[in-house]
Structure 1
């Protein structure tokens, strides 16, 4: 079963992702001078990552309740794991000094498995959500030590801690949103739904297309 509002939200995140990566690539080719380390361009990709992860959490309610669908989970995990590996290999070849060792797709891969294990245990999910928010945002316990050990900056670093909180929030809020009358009666937007239903494929191909197009223009100019 698919939820129209969920596909639409995921499709919107896809559009935001394409906009951000276009801007990022323009900066790499020095066509723009925007600062990506603060302000809007710093917050924007984090909003995008949160939206994708939140959608992951919501979708788990549709696929793994009242019990885990192991066949579906294994199939999806193989697909996501292979895609995440492809991103790591591709980014290492293209940008060896900033390759993606644990980006958004890696977080979705691991988070989908962990989320499936807790989606039917609501009290545990609430406890984990509270623990992560307290540790990260009240006690300021982060995992910057990971970067110090690896000593490699990454173009996209979305660690499972603390970002698993976004998936947990989707798991916990999802059932309430699915019963919302306004959302249930929402008319499907074919374009957003198409993007949302094919988000993984678009995720894998959009950056090479954008980067390659800007590179081609730069060569011609």
Structure 2
């Protein structure tokens, strides 16, 4: 099971595009790198300002936008020939369970900044929104996605600051969280990815994607098919390695 709902359904003839898996592999490596720097700064092993430098924050947001776009790409590929509601629901339930586990774990470990709506929560909601747009035209989905991104970036209101509504995306000063990915603007990237992929499939452009070759591409492709497991396990592993180093230092 991967983080972007991309595994093929048995009832649908599904062409797998290795380039998508490779891109997903790069994206999850970006997540690991981003969190590695954050962990090093948190433990005092590197200067704290490095983890909050604008360029590094921009890198993290680029990785998140890539993941959310790939959710739409994967949804379009999985729905080619018709979306299987049972398979879709089962995958979505696994991601929702993982999201809840992260919420509970961080609520215990860091109650002041726990994850109440992180990237996994966003993927669940964005997938449902994307599914609702599967029958819409690519143009409608693309323009809707752009509107969601623009509105999420342009408008805020203190009325949305509480955790109970901050997840929508319009909070002026949302409650602290180590991972916060509200519906606006992030679900917009999913709609954009969905629209571009559906248009590409309809026009045959997707078949023009290069097929990555070589050991690196094969490794990234394997990583890209296991992103959920990597996402859930990488932080405990990093902290298990780095925390003793910090104590010794």
TM-score, normalisation: structure 2: 0.80
Kindly indicate whether structure 1 or structure 2 has the higher relative contact order, using CA contacts under 8 Å at least 6 residues apart: 1
Residues 144/60 of structure 1: CA separation in 2 closer, same or farther (3 Å cut): farther
Partner residue of 2:213 out of 161, 172, 187: 187
Q: Is this contact kept in 2: 1:17–1:45, CA < 8 A? A: yes
Q: Trace 1:36-75 onto structure 2 (pairs within 5 A).
A: 36-75=51-90
Q: Which runs of 5+ in 1 are unaligned?
A: none
Partner residue of 1:197 out of 220, 225, 228: 225
**Distance in 1 separating the partners of 2:191 and 2:94:** 22
TM superposition shift of 1:166: 0.6
Partner residue of 1:5 out of 19, 34, 39: 19
Q: Which runs of 5+ in 2 are unaligned?
A: 1-13, 164-173
Partner residue of 2:162 out of 124, 142, 149: 149
**Distance in 2 separating the partners of 1:127 and 1:17:** 28
**Distance in 2 separating the partners of 1:110 and 1:172:** 17
Q: Is this contact kept in 1: 2:75–2:131, CA < 8 A? A: yes
Report the counterpart of residue 129 of structure 1 in structure 2.
145
Q: Is this contact kept in 2: 1:18–1:206, CA < 8 A? A: yes
Q: Larger % of helix: which?
A: 1
What are the superposed Cα offsets for residues 110-157 of structure 1, whole Å, 9 maximum, x if unpaired?
1112111212312541342243244345xx2136643x3236300111
What are the superposed Cα offsets for residues 180-206 of structure 1, whole Å, 9 maximum, x if unpaired?
455243336121011100000000000
Partner residue of 1:163 out of 186, 200, 224: 186
